[in-house]
A and B are shown apart, each in its own frame.
Chain A
Amino acid sequence: MPTNKKLFKDNLLKNNPVFAQILGICSTLAVTNSLKNTVVMSAGLIFVLSLSNVIISMIRKKIPSKIRMMVEVLVIASLVIIVDIILKAYLPVISRKLGPYVGLIITNCIIMGRAEAFAITNKPGKSFIDGFSSALGYSYVLLVIAFFRELLGSGEIWGVRVLGDWWINWSFMVMAGGAFFMLAIFIWVVKGLFIQVEEEGSA
């Protein structure tokens, strides 16, 4: 059983849900054309993943095996509803911009994935760290992508125009194709770095 620190670090790098397991990029790529929206989305994700791991871990011994998946979905869906309600009440403009993508956190493969892979067989404390760090690792990938998409696609960062009038927006970055490409490039760069490090390590 890895120490808490190692668990945390691994989930950010080696076992980062996005590059190592290509999990759950689905819905969340949609909001990465704006840095602000991505931050809110990431916050929601960290909240849901950490808490769902904790809750599922706490009741793991009591769940009848037949309905295991249903219970997991129920916990996750409930947490997402709570996030949705709170957004609607306190950040209504962003809630509207995020649209259905908040609800789609439920089907985000990472959360179910961590629940099945970790929370159901580990103690709440460790499960929390696992959930929190996985969500964090996932979030920073999203944030990097969002940074480039917003910058190149609209010349802005956080809604503030940074690039001068000379910059012609790469509208492509704002569209779906741009998101796919950015993620592919990101994975490529990171994997390249890993391979380099491994080769140096074993040399």
Chain B
Amino acid sequence: MNEKDRKSRKIKDGLYTIFFMFFITVVFISIISFIYVKTRSKIKLNEQLKLKRAILFAGNIEYDNSNENDILDKYSKYVKEIEVENADNYFEIYKDGAKSGYVFLVTGPGLWGKIDTAIGFKQDLKTMTGIEFLKQNETPGLGARITETWFKEQFENKVAPIEKAVGENKEAGIKEFNAITGATSSSKAVMKIINKSAKNVKKRYDLMEEE
């Protein structure tokens, strides 16, 4: 091969390389985008279900976890979303036709990042109906155990502000709660979030506490 042939070969190889890279990238990105578009609505539905589940749980309303329709059904029956300008919307809970409480979306600092919660209060804006976590990044196996059912359910009927953390297997009074062994920081972070929300919601949403 003489100089000219070698040069044109090099250019051909270069072009082929670029073309190949481009082509294969397009092929793969197309496949991915196709799958994404097909599943997008399902993913959005999952997000919505997650939020609705959380509101129901925090508002202490029973639902069938494995039944999507039940969740949507219960939500539309018992929950009313109130739009707020410049802040997160909040939710009113209705039982037997009358307003029985609220659920607020509250975010606070955890050990490793933000913790997004839904917290439910009765009309007095002090007594809790429940708490659910929407997003948290605590230590798996330790801090992340705040999402365990026993930890969440213990807050039913506790009265904010919560004052003390006690050991996992001890008795906890109405203003105390059981922290997770080995995850005191994450447990206390939850307590702080609850207290902060109880303190702020009256002013932020212009609500009146009722017995």
Direct contact of A and B (CB under 8 A): yes
Contacts from A to B (Cβ < 8 Å): 30, 33, 59, 62-64, 66-67, 70-71, 74-75, 78, 81-82, 85-86, 88-90, 92, 97, 153-154, 171, 174-175
When the two chains form their complex, are residues B25 and A67 in contact, meaning their CB atoms are under 8 A apart?
no
Closest 4 CB pairs of A and B: A174-B141, A89-B39, A78-B28, A64-B17
Q: Is the CB of B32 within 8 A of A174?
A: no
The distance from the CB of A12 to the nearest CB of chain B, in whole angstroms, is 29
CB-defined A-B contacts under 8 Å, sample of 18: A33-B141, A59-B24, A66-B17, A67-B20, A71-B21, A82-B32, A86-B39, A89-B39, A90-B42, A92-B43, A92-B50, A97-B140, A153-B141, A154-B141, A171-B141, A171-B142, A171-B182, A174-B141
Structural contact, A62 and B20, CB atoms closer than 8 A: yes
Most chain B beta-carbon contacts within 10 A, residue among A78, A86, A90, A154: A78
Of the candidates B24, B46, B139, B182, the one whose C-beta lies within 8 Å of that of A74 is B24
Q: A71-B24, A74-B28 are in contact. Are A88 and B142 (CB under 8 A)?
A: no
Assembled-state Cα–Cα distance A64/B12 (Å): 12
Bound together, the chains give a CA A85 to CA B25 distance in angstroms of 18
A174 touching B142, Cβ below 8 Å: yes
State the main secondary structure of chain A at its contact with B.
helix
Chain A residue with Cβ nearest B135: A96
In B18-38, which residues have CB < 8 Å from any A CB?
20-21, 24-25, 28-29, 31-32, 35-36
CA of A52 to CA of B39, assembled, Å = 22
Interchain CA distance A153-B50 in the complex, whole Å? 28
Whether A63 contacts B20 by the Cβ 8 Å rule is yes
Give Cα distance in the complex from A154 to B180, angstroms: 13
CA–CA, A175 to B39, complex, Å? Answer: 35
- Minimum C-beta distance from A111 to chain B (A): 15
| Set B32, B43, B181: member contacting A88, Cβ < 8 A | B43
Residues of B within 8 A of A81 (CB): 32
Q: Which residues of A contact B182 (CB under 8 A)?
A: 171
Q: How far is the CA of A62 from the CA of B29 in the complex (A)?
A: 19
Given contacts A64-B16, A92-B46, is CB(A74)–CB(B32) below 8 Å? no
Chain A residues near B28 (CB-CB < 8 A): 74-75, 78
Cβ contact within 8 Å between A174 and B17? no
- Cβ 8 A contact of B140, one of A33, A64, A71, A92: A33
How far in angstroms is the closest Cβ of chain B from A184?
19
Which residues of A sit under 8 angstroms from B43, Cβ to Cβ?
85, 88-89, 92
Nearest A residue to B140, CB-CB: A33
CA gap between A82 and B46 in the complex, in Å: 17
Q: Are A85 and B141 in contact (CB under 8 A)?
A: no
Q: Known: A67-B20, A90-B42. Contact between A175 and B141, CB under 8 A?
A: yes
List 6 additional contacts besides A64-B17, A71-B24; criterion CB under 8 Å: A62-B20, A64-B16, A64-B20, A89-B43, A90-B42, A171-B182
